[in-house]
Chain A
Amino acid sequence: MNEILEILENDARTTPEEIAKMTGSSAQAVKKAIKKFEKDGVILKYKTVINKELVKDEGSDVRALIEVKITPKKDVGFDYLAERIYQFPEVSACYLMSGTYDLLVVVEGKNIHTVSNFVSSKLAPMENVRGTVTHFILKKYKEDGDILRQAKRDKREAISL
């Protein structure tokens, strides 16, 4: 991957000046490259990775992976139905899969009822949806490459030759 993207993916708050220092180029050139990435849609947005397990205030969200079997529509294949599904704000991810089912839909809700309600009232009754299997996530260990746990202490001696 492009080095600027790699740096930003790891820490979106790295400034163009800092990236320039790390890559041995000019801040101007880095700014220009980032602008282009944003314009081309390579960089979609800048987010903060939050460990929701530790956010106590509003009760942690429930998340489910739903296997969806569908009958592809003539001419538009799976894309038509996928689009109808991923537009729902409850859907946080949607993938077309190889194997025994077609779409993998990740759904988030306040609690188990809101999620099952979404499946039974919105997803399952859709035309061309042949069936769904819902898996609730019980515990998250690692997400998008980040381990959801406090960083371990540096075990090295504070100074060595």
Chain B
Amino acid sequence: MAENIPPSGIRVFFDLVLGMKDVISLGIGEPDFVTPWNVREAAIFSLEEGYTSYTSNKGMIELRKDISGYLKDRQTIAYDPEDEILITVGVSEAFDLALRAIINRGDKILIPEPYYVSYGPLVTLAGGRPVFIRQSPENGFKLTPEDIVKHCDGRTKAIVLNYPNNPTGVSYTRKELSAIARVVLKKKLIMISDEIYGDLTYDFDHTAFPTLAGMKKRTIYLNGFSKSYAMTGWRIGYACGPKDVIAMMTKIHQYTMLCAPIMSQMAAREALKNGERSIRQMKREYKRRREYVVSGLNEAGLPCHKPEGAFYAFPSIKNSGLSSMEFAKKLLKEERVALVPGTAFGPSCEGYVRISYASSISNIKEALIRIKRFLCSQN
């Protein structure tokens, strides 16, 4: 099965970046903040106390209860900590488990493009067939209900939605999501909703997909601590869903991961208990950078929608006359600024690049000056 997965073309470019010194990188998909001190301190304390064992396969019940509380308060949705929540090794694992739990060989899974790199390969590995839905830039890279209908047939089992989105930063209002939910219901699909960036939504309240009418029993909700709590290296996330799906996922999880690391679970508990202030602070800072980056890019001649969430902008580089990869390589060589060519997120993203603003404002300022200079030198 693994043979069917093409090697990642982006790897070559990554090696180029990693081999170069003094690069300003706007190509990083994780927060520039370190994990808030209270969270790190809680993990250190847990080690001192001797928390070094396995936990229950599903994760510590205390953490599941805390997550259930967070979901009720912040996302207005009730999940039973006993059998509707599973603690995983990041959303990546949760995503893989969700696919393996629901896919029968040959089932089709709809994946909106631009997509996060692992979605397609994981569907293939689980024995499914990925069906990519290309979203048009004219529509701001937003998925529409019509797109879904057009790509459905008798074998379509589920759809994946990641919002706010990596790489575009696009998110959806409750109204837009409701329209999608109606199609999901009509076509009897399962929704795998990757909401890892949900807490980083800037212009409106984030709507969790399972809160929509009739969606709780059709949704596998994925979330974690990596992005909003700046905890990427801890590898801790969770999945929520209907009892039977969570039971199935737990079965696979217990044979592969056994459980998420206990120190990460302890850290996550502290994050939920006392992390509110840090989250708010980081979010304010991201929002400021977003405004700065978007206006800077548009000024420089790289047209860019204002992303609603996450920490990415996805400008068009068509004015440069270069392909995404050429643009990224040349910019790296000539101005030492790294970003990710859009084609890493699907062939239809030719002509776009992903810019991450998970970087200090002084880095962003300097990078924008260099990008502007680079564009002038091209014309």
Contacts and interface: CB of A to CB of B under 8 A. Distances in A.
Interface string A150-161: 000011111111
B17 A158 contact: yes
Interface in A18-65: 18, 21-24
A160 B354 CA distance: 11
Contact of A161 (B25, B291, B340, B361): B340
Interface in B299-323: none
B289 A157 contact: no
B315 to A, nearest CB: 16
A158 B338 contact: yes
A158 B363 CA distance: 13
Given A7-B288, A22-B289, A22-B292, A159 B14 contact: yes
Interface residues of B, number: 28
A108 to B, nearest CB: 29
Contacts of B32: 154, 156
Given A154-B32, A158-B27, 5 more contacts: A7-B288, A11-B361, A21-B291, A21-B296, A159-B28
Interface string B212-237: 00000000000000000000000000
21 contacts: A3-B284, A7-B288, A11-B361, A18-B365, A21-B292, A21-B295, A22-B288, A22-B291, A22-B292, A23-B291, A154-B32, A155-B34, A157-B28, A158-B18, A158-B25, A158-B338, A159-B17, A159-B18, A159-B28, A161-B117, A161-B340
B344 interface: yes
Contacts of A24: 291
B30 A159 contact: no
B23 interface: yes
Nearest to B15: A159
Nearest to B293: A21
Contacts of A159: 14, 17-18, 25, 27-28, 338, 340
B120 to A, nearest CB: 13
Contacts of B292: 18, 21-22
B18 to A, nearest CB: 6
A23 B338 CA distance: 26
Contacts of B132: none
Interface string B114-138: 0011000000000000000000000
Interface string B350-379: 000000000001000100000000000000
Interface residues on A, range: 10 to 19
Interface of B: 10, 14, 17-18, 20, 23, 25, 27-30, 32, 34, 116-117, 166, 284, 288-289, 291-292, 295-296, 338, 340, 344, 361, 365
A160 B361 CA distance: 19
B329 to A, nearest CB: 13
A161 B288 CA distance: 22
Nearest to B289: A22
